[in-house]
Structure 1
Amino acid sequence: MDNATPLDTNPALLDEALHNLIEQMTHSEAFARFRSAEQNLMNDEQALSLLNRLAEAQQKVKTQQQSGKPAEEDVRRLQQLQVEVAENPLIQEYEYSREAYIALVRQVNQHISQEIGLDFASLTRRW
């Protein structure tokens, strides 16, 4: 019994379909907004420094939690940095646009999954 599809016999069709999907996704408003926000964030030394300080403070408090109780001063500093990050417009635009693009990718996965009858993204996961 031959279950070959046009994609099996003509890999160029798959390449074309993939190219079309990639073209649509990379020309979407969500992608353009994400890339712009990413570039703006990467070009802002203050925002990057803030994110680095937050990561360091998170790691310090996490390490302290694992070995006992974190110092109140370090917890306050972490909370202060979290507020600063939450109030930084470049970081917030990056996070918002990233989430919007992830939602688009999930929507594409959902459509593909519905068409093939199983979770498409899970096919790439290892046991």
Structure 2
Amino acid sequence: MSDAESVDTVEAKLQAFVDAVENSETYQQFVEASEQLEADQEATELLETYQQKQQQLQENFDQELMAELQELQSDLSNNETIQQHRAAQSELIELLQQTNDVISEPIGMEFAQTSGGGCC
């Protein structure tokens, strides 16, 4: 088998893997939860506000800002759309970690590991 044929075989199997993940119930639930989150203006505004406050807190620690952030965190925890998205995201991450383990074992190294490297 030539290198080109080997690459084609790997790419075909990779595409089959991608298709299997995309067709999984776990992935479909994540997509649905993401769409619901995008459609929920209150939830998206809450997340945006929380992220802005986190950024502000990193730039300049302030006790009042910390209190606001804690209150927003409570609001996030009570928002059903956000909680459904987080749960679906956690399940998808778990699925992908399991697939990483399955791939890593036969090759004898962590598949989804960065190799370090970089430019300079």
TM class, shorter-length = 0.7 to 0.9
| Equivalences for residues 39-118 of structure 1 within 5 A | 39-65=35-61, 70=62, 72-118=63-109
Q: Which amino acid aligns with 1:29?
A: E
How high is the sequence identity, in percent, across the aligned residues? 28
Per-residue displacement from partner, 1:37-76 (whole Å, max 9, x unpaired)? 00110111111100111111112222222xxxx1x33222
CA distance in 2, matches of 1:82, 1:31: 26
What are structure 2's unaligned runs of at least 5 residues?
A: none
1:54 is paired with a residue whose SS is helix
Count of residues in Structure 1 that have an aligned counterpart in Structure 2: 116
TM-score, structure 2 as length reference = 0.87
| Residue of structure 2 equivalent to 1:8 | 3
Q: Which amino acid aligns with 1:44?
A: D
Shift of residue 7, structure 1, vs aligned partner: 7.6
What are structure 1's unaligned runs of at least 5 residues?
A: 1-5
CA distance in 1, matches of 2:41, 2:33: 14
Shift of residue 125, structure 1, vs aligned partner: 3.4
2:65 is paired with a residue whose SS is helix
Per-residue displacement from partner, 1:3-61 (whole Å, max 9, x unpaired)? xxx58362332222112111111111110010000011011111110011111111222
TM-score, structure 1 as length reference = 0.83
Q: Which amino acid aligns with 2:68?
A: R
